[in-house]
């Protein structure tokens, strides 16, 4: 039996979808289906796999975390992906969100500044046959301008303001979700490009590691 399809993990995954996601306002059927299928335990360090479906963020090394399941789902739902989008992800981390984005969009470019995390994420993504995701190592706050515009951008680190470089790489009508710091508070925020204007919608309070880079901290 595949160690990552043990009945215990499958049951925990189904419980996560019902109680952590659906009951707390996640309604996007594609997001719920993807999170019910992708084995989160594959993206968690082995010593913490028993906690893979806990309602909490977990450390993954290099002072980074895999986000709480609800936060991951909230980001994906806000992006409103339908399957034909080019997506930029800032902060590959464990690769879990990357894998989910790959199931929900046409193609994903993901940038991670820690080479050790990028290597581990690449291995997990290969095991999940995530062929439409592309990993890069570098300063995510600058984005990937030569691959823009992107229909959606997911930022998994808190910034003092939405990075201008990422805004410039957002397509017309495109959506970006980014945690924005204001004083001691962080707010997961959805931005939508409307011509020269950006519509901003607060999603929920959150807590992320800081975005380190030229347009972060």
Q: What is the mean pLDDT of residues 48-76?
A: 96
Count the Cβ atoms, other than its own, within 10 Å of residue 15.
11
Residue 7: is its pLDDT beyond 60? no
Residue 1: is its pLDDT beyond 50? no
User: What pLDDT shows up at residue 184?
Assistant: 87
User: What pLDDT shows up at residue 132?
Assistant: 98
Q: What is the mean pLDDT of residues 194-201?
A: 92
* Residue 67 annotated among the catalytic residues of the structure: yes
User: What pLDDT shows up at residue 2?
Assistant: 52
Residue 6: is its pLDDT beyond 90? no
Q: What is the mean pLDDT of residues 149-153?
A: 98
Residue 5: is its pLDDT beyond 60? no
Q: What is the mean pLDDT of residues 39-46?
A: 96
Q: What is the mean pLDDT of residues 47-65?
A: 96
Burial class from Cβ neighbours inside 10 Å (0-12, 13-18, 19+) for residue 82 reads exposed
Name the catalytic one among 67, 97, 110, 141.
67
d(CA 193, CA 183): 25
User: What pLDDT shows up at residue 196?
Assistant: 85
pLDDT digits (tens, 9 = 90+) for 8-38: 899 999 999 999 999 999 999 999 999 999 9
Residue 142: is its pLDDT beyond 70? yes
Domains of the chain: 3-205 (3.40.50.150)
DSSP 116-128: HHHHHHHHHHHHT
């Amino acid at each position: 039996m595949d160690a990552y399809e043990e009945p215990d993990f499958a049951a925990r995954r189904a419980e996560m979808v019902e109680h952590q996601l659906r009951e707390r306002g996640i309604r996007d059927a594609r997001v719920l289906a993807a999170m019910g299928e992708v084995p989160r335990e594959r993206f968690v360090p082995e010593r913490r796999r028993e906690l893979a479906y806990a309602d909490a963020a977990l450390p993954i090394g290099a002072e980074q975390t895999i986000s709480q399941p609800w936060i991951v789902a909230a980001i994906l739902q806000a992006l409103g992906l339908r399957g034909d989008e080019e997506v930029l992800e800032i902060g590959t981390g464990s690769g879990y969100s990357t894998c989910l984005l790959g199931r929900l969009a046409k193609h994903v470019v993901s940038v991670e500044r820690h080479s050790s995390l990028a290597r581990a994420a690449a291995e997990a993504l290969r095991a999940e046959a995530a062929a439409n995701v592309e990993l890069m190592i570098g300063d995510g706050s600058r984005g990937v301008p030569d691959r823009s515009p992107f229909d959606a951008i997911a930022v998994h680190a808190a910034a003092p303001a939405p990075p201008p470089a990422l805004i410039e790489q957002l397509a017309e009508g495109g959506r970006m979700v980014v945690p924005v710091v204001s004083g001691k508070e962080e707010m997961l925020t959805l931005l939508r490009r409307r011509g020269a204007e950006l519509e901003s919608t607060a999603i929920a309070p959150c807590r992320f590691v800081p975005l380190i880079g030229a347009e972060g901290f």
